Structure 1
């Protein structure tokens, strides 16, 4: 029996060129966040607790901007992700506002379709995402004048056309992607330079982290989001938060 194990993704090495580019990237991020805060006081940053989101959280807190930071506790998070929520609240003065799914809706879904229904059909997976992510986000954004994400263009094919500012037509509010044009190494350069708290799953081969049943490590060289909903085609690999 072969004992070969594929090489898993590892945290990218930050090159000197990445470090040299970081001051310019950091200054631009600061400018973008200040613009958002000035135009939309009490805008909401929806943090997935990914490294990108932790970078933005760090900057919001450094600048003491009037931007609320929320996160979604889906009820299906890894222990490492739950630990990061606690670590973030310890590190920063701005406490995360945690939104949960409606317990009865989540329980009814699992009772009707089973705890592993997300693997059966895309329709059921999206319904699960709606209960655990989209509905709580809708509540979080109910009074928000605008919201922010940590999305980047180079994360996946479905995000290749991202812009700094968009309009969320479903909620009729502005939407911002302040690091839309950052590369993966830019994100890691900032995180390492500023000792940003991070999810320990990154050290276990997880470059993109969501709910525990829907996330797995990826092999070296694979797209960084290939471990999300890996049983689906790449065209369906979004939960609906950004549709």
Structure 2
């Protein structure tokens, strides 16, 4: 569904059908996906400018349409997702790329991700690492402890590492988002939008937030003012945090 929202070609009929149902209820879903991917690209470029040369993309889905390895072409990247079809397809897309891998694992089990042979082969946890948690934690319910999941990854990071996180919110369109949540209930990924304060709490284990803090995705260091538009239509907050 996410690939479809982005205008990609790596999706199936069932994805397009379900995405179309969401778009009827919430046309901004396409804006959400594209603004989120644009934020990811800006965050990756920012990380590279800070000297980071390796990335762990958690809940990555398909590594297409401006994924991390397409932005940071000489960097090492491990993509992680628990959906077998997405991972299998991602592995085909990355075949022959020695700097990138696609791993099937549950991101809410950090040890499973961090100890995976491909993660260990490609990433050096003694060096600064860029962690991407973009548009994924809103699929993790409170009872599974999303803030604790973030904390576990933080504890594995070397000084100088950074986190980029984006998260869906129902703050400005609560009634419409409630309908979307109902739509997602029949998929394998139920949705749990959160407020700005709740998103801020998810990164409490990190020492410092990079300016401008927790903002709507198009407001995080846009390349052009015209790219912001109506930021509330992005339906998501974004934040970058650091490990000094």
TM-score, normalised by the number of residues in structure 1? 0.41
Return the index of the structure with the highest Cα Rg. Answer: 1
Question: Whose relative contact order is higher, 1 or 2, with alpha carbons under 8 Å and at least 6 apart?
Answer: 1
